[in-house]
Structures are given as structure tokens and as C-alpha cells.
Amino acid sequence: MDGFLFIDKKEGVTSTQEGSKIKHVFHTKRVGHVGTLDPFATGLLILGVNKATKAITFFDDFIKEYVATIKLGIATDTMDLTGKMTIRKEVPDLKEDIVSLVLASFLGKSKQLPPMTSAIHADGVKLYKLAHQGKEVDRPLRDIEIFEIELLSLKEDELTFRALVSKGTYIRVLGSDIAEKLGTVGHLISLKRTKVGPFKVEDAIKSDDVSDLSLKSTYEVLKEFSDVISFDDKKIEDIKNGRIKNLVHKGTYDKLLVVNSANNAIAMYLRKDNDNYEFARGLF
């Protein structure tokens, strides 16, 4: 069975553990996830099963939405509630209008330093493994963009905000930066991913409730953000054999999904320019 699952990840488990549970349900070793969620985080986790794992790369550039709560006055070494306290600092008397202005100052493009407690690699080793050894290494700043950010609630030493961000944005770092700009320190005590591109957590299910019926076909999912074109069996065979590298199509999206007569996903083409699409990957 091939397709995608939309899971509302629970707190306290890793994205990999959620994937392992799905491997057991579908008796397969081929399960991959779109974007890692920290163990303490909850919310939308998209999983590809079997052949659908080939399409995961096409989710990479999606804008994501998060809702997070910052505990002000205390910093931790992980920037979230799982870490050890490093600094305690007084929290100023904050008003909603001032906090909203500070949040708005983060809108737009900027550069962000990834935390040491992250899964990105340095010299082939994940940063969090180096952090567990007490090591800190230089890591390059990453280009990020905050498209929307708003205050949802403010009470004494806690504030909750919603943010729509580009890929590569660490909400833990954003939370720490917000606290600093408010004249104090802080760490995340909750984090929920509510959207990934066009997909919402409201449409997700808990991994404990997964069954064969939960699986959405690759076609059904990819058509939400791709143009779709169907060909006869002969042309499908030509595509599978690498004989058709380019397609001309007047499309709405920058992605063009090729399917056969049964709506099975065959290949993805990406817009090169105007109406010209170039072969990106086979999905069969």
C-alpha cells in the first residue's frame, strides 16, 4: 500500500517513533516524514508510506504554521521545556500592544542561527549529538522568513503566538529572540504545528487510530498543490523509461503531476520557465 498519512503527533514521542509505529501497522520499512517535530511538540506530521516516500521532497518548500507558548523569565539550554535552566531574569510589565509591536518586528526575511540541539548535520554528525557531548560548533546562519505573526494571549510571564514561517525556521529560536527583544529571556513550553502548506492539523488523526482506510493516495495528496496531466499507456511507458524529459503545459502550479488512466502517480515535473516543465522524479 502506498500513500500519505496525516498524523496529529502527541507530545513526548519523536517523529521517528511515530514513523516506526506506522511501519508496524503497514508491515513495511519504507516510511518517511515531512519535516521533523521535536519530541515535546505536537501537531501535524505528514508521513509517506512505501512509494509515496519518493514524493516527500516536493513538500520541502511549504510554508508552515505554528502556535507556541513562551515562558518568560527563564532560559534553558534547549530553548524549550526539556532543557536545563541557564538564566533567570526579571520579566518587565508587558502590555499587549507593546508585545504585538515586538512580534511584528520579526516579520519578513532574516537570518537565524540553528540551535545546537537540532537534527541538522555538522561534518556528518547531528548537532544534538554533539550538544549531548558538551560540544558547540560553528554553524552557518540560515535564511528564513516570517510571513505572519500575531499575539494570541498574554498573561504575566507567558505569551502565546501564532506564526506562519518558511522552511528552516526554528520556533524555539524565534521564541528566545522574542523574549530577548521584550527585555527578558524565555523558552517554549508548548509548540503545535497547525499547517503544512495546504494541509491542516484539523484533518489529521492520532497514530493510534491509523488503519488502511486512513491512507490517502499519492495522487489525492499531490493534486492539492500540483497540476495534473494524464497520459495513455504508451506515453506513460516513455516517461518511465526516461524518454520524455520535458513537457509543455499551461499550468497554475510550478509542479506538474503525471498520472496514468487509473490516477496512479507516475512522475513529477517542475516548471522550468513559462509553460515548460522538466522531469524531476519518478513516483512509480
**Averaged pLDDT in 10-residue chunks for the chain of 284 residues:** 96 94 94 93 97 96 97 96 96 96 98 74 59 63 95 96 96 97 98 98 95 95 98 97 97 97 98 97 97
The answer to whether position 86 is within a domain reads yes
- Residue 268 neighbours by CB distance under 10 Å: 22
What does the pLDDT read at residue 113?
86
Domain end, chosen from 210, 239, 261, is at 210
Residue 257 · residue 222 · CB < 8 Å? yes
70 and 126 assigned to the same domain: yes
CA distances from 128 to 92, 95, 136, 169 (A): 32, 36, 10, 17
88 and 19 assigned to the same domain: no
Q: 254: domain CATH number?
A: 2.30.130.10
What does the pLDDT read at residue 122?
59
What does the pLDDT read at residue 135?
61
Which of 19, 12, 13 has its CA nearest to residue 210?
Answer: 19
Q: 114: domain CATH number?
A: 3.30.2350.10
Give the structural domain span for 245: 226-282
120 and 163 assigned to the same domain: yes
What does the pLDDT read at residue 131?
54
The answer to whether position 219 is within a domain reads no
The answer to whether position 218 is within a domain reads no
70 and 192 assigned to the same domain: yes
Q: Is 38 a catalytic residue?
A: yes
Strands 158-165 and 142-155, bridge-based pairing: antiparallel
How many domains does the chain fold into?
3
Which of 11, 33, 10 has its CA nearest to residue 22?
Answer: 33
166 and 237 assigned to the same domain: no
192 and 205 assigned to the same domain: no
Q: What is the pTM of this model?
A: 0.91
Q: 205: domain CATH number?
A: 3.30.70
116 and 236 assigned to the same domain: no
Distance in angstroms (rounded) separating the CA atoms of residues 70 and 80 = 9
DSSP 171: H
What does the pLDDT read at residue 1?
87
Distance in angstroms (rounded) separating the CA atoms of residues 95 and 102 = 11
Distance in angstroms (rounded) separating the CA atoms of residues 118 and 121 = 9
94 and 189 assigned to the same domain: yes
Which of 161, 54, 52 has its CA nearest to residue 105?
Answer: 161
What does the pLDDT read at residue 123?
58
192 and 85 assigned to the same domain: yes
Q: Which of 38, 80, 177, 227 is catalytic?
A: 38
Which of 72, 64, 75, 13 has its CA nearest to residue 34?
Answer: 64
